[in-house]
């Protein structure tokens, strides 16, 4: 168990959150829902198929499988570190313990900026699909608003406001909403995959459809730098979010055990879901660069909407199934909008408690027992960035997936290193500790570091991302994905410097010293 830390007159052992509010099942639901499976696949599968400068094609399932490996290894690191200190600050707290305040602060910022940036993409999808869903009930003029930037922006801002309010009202309400949204989402995805595979194997699919092959799961015939690395950054994005299950550790039953188990279970469930759906999509649609082919650039923003009409056919039944498929993406994006707020609010809560950011972010609602300033601040920051990205260029929203992949690789990789370093003196005490606290976390970090470097090199190319008119999406002549990814992290370095000057207590190691809890954790 982690010992209680005293910072001045404030007891940091308990931050005021509602303890024992979530069980294992609820934690898994929150972890899986945070990844937005339907939305993530719809928005990312096309990019995974394209891969990089060299076509990934039918090897997309192999990329999805390969991306699972570092995700699982880092989930193990989260589990092991959470045993030592179940703090809702997660990477921020653990990296501070292992490497000191500067590294810890940047780790916390990695979580915050990744969550804020992805909210822009989620809000845009939720806004657009709100009109598509309503328009599916015989209101084509409403459906047409999905292509109206002003209308979708207003709707997206409304979704951010609604989900911020739900998170503000309490963790239990959040979990109950997630049960409903996630159940519907997964049911539709499995139905989609099953429907497509039945058509393929029964011979009633399209002429360009493909029979799944075991070789699809072998990505090692592809070039690492030009194909695997950039494709994996996108694939990592679809897994990202399971760590929310750990960020609510202080509100979970058995906080030192349940969150870590939930993280592991979430990653495995995601692998199963993604593998089935990816194989089904590749098999039915093929990897052509025209029509419903997954390599068609026009399908990149939403492969399900491209595949759906051909898969389900025309007529009333096909229309209903398409409406349900669209609704699953809407529920996916809206659910993830909600669960994305959770880890950020709790990260900033922990940072404020330890004096790493202003104290007001540590305030807890007396009735709902949720972070107040941290939750509302997350909503406002998300709305601001959403507006900024939209004003610069709606096409920039497409660049966010790769950018977020860089941010994820940064703070997930840092967590793995923190685990190996934190437990370094007891790794040889048992074979289990050597593997679970040393080799696995370190291997996951090294994999993510390689993906980060090679992926960044590709994203920085001016012609890496293009809009619908074929224009390069760049910032200062550099690929937008690279600029947003690295620039977002550098903004944190500037903010950290400003706060260090204003209030150096945290950076001097007074509020979160590296020595506290370290020896006790190593005895476990």
Residue 383 pLDDT more than 70?
Answer: yes
Return d(Cα 231, Cα 49) in angstroms, integer: 8
Neighbours of 132 (CB within 10 A): 22
Structure confidence by residue, pLDDT tens digits, 437-496? 999 999 999 999 998 998 888 888 887 666 556 666 777 888 888 888 899 999 999 999
Predicted pLDDT of residue 516: 45
Give the side-chain half-sphere CA count within 13 A for 396: 21
**Mean pLDDT throughout 336-355?**
91
Residue 361 pLDDT more than 90?
Answer: yes
Predicted pLDDT of residue 441: 98
| DSSP-based three-state secondary structure for 256 | coil
Return d(Cα 143, Cα 128) in angstroms, integer: 9
**Mean pLDDT throughout 202-224?**
93
Helices (H), 354-439: 373-392, 396-422, 431-433
Predicted pLDDT of residue 357: 96
Q: Of the candidates 271, 277, 306, 305, which has an alpha carbon nearest to the alpha carbon of residue 291?
A: 306
Q: List the beta bridge partners of residue 158.
A: none
Predicted pLDDT of residue 232: 85
Structure confidence by residue, pLDDT tens digits, 66-79? 999 999 999 999 99
Burial class of 235 by CB neighbour count within 10 A (0 to 12, 13 to 18, 19+): buried
CATH number assigned to the domain with residue range 6-411+448-522, chosen from the 4 options 2.60.40.10, 1.10.3720.10, 1.20.1740.10, 3.40.50.2300: 1.20.1740.10
Residue 216's contacts (CB-CB under 8 Å, 6 or more residues apart) are: 58, 59, 60, 61, 62, 279, 282
Task: Compute and round to an integer the Cα radius of gyration of the chain.
Answer: 22
Residue 9 pLDDT more than 50?
Answer: no
Return d(Cα 76, Cα 429) in angstroms, integer: 18
Structure-token match 């409304």, residue found: 158
Return d(Cα 437, Cα 462) in angstroms, integer: 40
Taking CA atoms, 429 is separated from 190, 260, 420, 432, 437, in Å, by 44, 22, 14, 9, 11
Return d(Cα 192, Cα 204) in angstroms, integer: 15
Both structure tokens of 499: 């706060």
Q: Average pLDDT of the chain? A: 87
User: Using DSSP, how many helices (H) and how many strands (E) does the chain show?
Assistant: 19, 4
Cα angle: 72, vertex 78, 83; to 5 degrees: 130
Mean pLDDT is highest, among 10-14, 317-321, 379-383, for 379-383
| DSSP-based three-state secondary structure for 368 | coil
Q: Phi/psi of residue 293, each to 5°?
A: -55, 140
Residue 353 pLDDT more than 60?
Answer: yes
Predicted pLDDT of residue 390: 86
Q: Are 341 and 379 in contact (CB under 8 A)?
A: yes
Predicted pLDDT of residue 468: 58
| DSSP-based three-state secondary structure for 309 | helix
Mean pLDDT is highest, among 175-189, 405-419, 468-482, 508-522, for 405-419
Report which DSSP code applies to 252: B
Predicted pLDDT of residue 399: 60
| DSSP-based three-state secondary structure for 516 | coil
Q: Are 122 and 333 in contact (CB under 8 A)?
A: yes
Q: Of the candidates 66, 69, 71, 91, which has an alpha carbon nearest to the alpha carbon of residue 81?
A: 91
Q: Of the candidates 437, 320, 379, 321, which has an alpha carbon nearest to the alpha carbon of residue 115?
A: 379
Q: Are 410 and 489 in contact (CB under 8 A)?
A: yes
Return d(Cα 92, Cα 178) in angstroms, integer: 26
Return d(Cα 304, Cα 281) in angstroms, integer: 8
Neighbours of 202 (CB within 10 A): 8
Q: Of the candidates 5, 478, 17, which has an alpha carbon nearest to the alpha carbon of residue 247?
A: 17
Taking CA atoms, 308 is separated from 143, 284, 294, in Å, by 16, 10, 12
Identify the residue with better confidence: 414 or 7: 414
Mean pLDDT is highest, among 35-39, 220-224, 402-406, 417-421, for 417-421
**Mean pLDDT throughout 300-307?**
83
Residue 197 pLDDT more than 60?
Answer: yes
Residue 97 pLDDT more than 90?
Answer: yes
Predicted pLDDT of residue 524: 47
């Amino acid at each position: 168990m982690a010992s209680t830390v005293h910072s001045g007159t404030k007891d940091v052992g308990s931050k005021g959150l509602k303890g024992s509010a979530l069980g294992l099942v609820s934690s898994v639901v929150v972890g899986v829902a945070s990844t937005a499976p339907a939305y993530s696949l719809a928005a990312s599968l096309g990019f995974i198929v394209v891969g990089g400068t060299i076509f990934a094609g039918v090897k997309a399932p192999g990329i999805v499988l390969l991306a699972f490996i570092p995700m699982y290894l880092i989930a193990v690191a989260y589990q092991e570190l959470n045993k030592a200190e179940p703090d809702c600050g997660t990477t921020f707290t653990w990296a501070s313990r292992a490497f000191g305040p500067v590294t810890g602060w940047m780790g916390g910022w990695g979580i915050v900026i990744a969550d804020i940036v992805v909210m822009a993409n989620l809000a845009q999808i939720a806004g657009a699909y709100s009109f598509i869903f309503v328009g599916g009930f015989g209101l084509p003029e409403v459906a047409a608003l999905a292509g109206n930037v002003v209308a979708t922006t207003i709707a997206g801002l409304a979704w951010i406001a609604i989900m911020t309010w739900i998170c503000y009202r309490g963790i239990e309400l959040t979990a109950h909403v997630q049960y409903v949204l996630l159940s519907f989402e997964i049911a539709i995805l499995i139905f989609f995959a099953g429907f497509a595979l039945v058509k393929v194997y029964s011979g009633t699919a399209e002429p360009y459809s493909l029979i799944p092959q075991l070789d699809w799961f072998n990505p090692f015939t592809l070039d690492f730098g030009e194909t695997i690395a950039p494709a994996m950054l996108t694939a990592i994005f679809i897994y990202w979010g399971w760590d929310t299950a750990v960020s609510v550790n202080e509100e979970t039953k058995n906080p030192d055990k349940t969150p870590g188990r939930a993280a592991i279970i979430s990653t495995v469930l995601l692998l199963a879901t993604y593998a089935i759906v990816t194989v089904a999509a590749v098999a039915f649609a093929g990897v052509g660069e025209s029509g419903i082919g997954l390599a068609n650039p026009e399908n990149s923003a939403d492969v399900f909407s491209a595949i759906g009409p051909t898969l389900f056919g025309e007529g009333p039944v096909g229309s209903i199934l398409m409406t349900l498929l669209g609704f699953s993406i809407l529920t996916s994006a809206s659910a993830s909008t909600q669960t994305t707020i959770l880890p950020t609010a709790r990260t900033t809560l922990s940072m404020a408690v330890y004096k790493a950011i202003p104290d007001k972010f540590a305030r807890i609602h007396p009735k709902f027992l949720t972070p107040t300033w941290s939750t509302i601040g997350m909503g406002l920051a998300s709305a601001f960035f959403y507006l900024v990205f939209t004003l610069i260029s709606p096409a920039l929203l497409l660049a966010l997936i790769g950018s977020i992949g860089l941010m994820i690789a940064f703070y997930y990789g840092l967590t793995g290193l923190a685990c190996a370093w934190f437990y370094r003196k007891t790794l040889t005490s048992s074979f289990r500790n050597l593997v679970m606290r040393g080799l696995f976390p370190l291997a996951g970090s090294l994999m993510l570091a390689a993906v980060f470097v090679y992926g960044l090199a590709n994203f920085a190319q001016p012609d890496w991302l293009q809009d619908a008119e074929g224009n390069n999406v760049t910032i200062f002549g550099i690929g937008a994905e690279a600029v947003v990814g690295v620039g977002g992290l550098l903004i944190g370095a500037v903010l950290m410097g400003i706060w260090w000057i204003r209030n150096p207590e945290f950076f001097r190691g007074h509020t979160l010293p590296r020595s506290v809890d370290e020896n006790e954790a190593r005895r476990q």
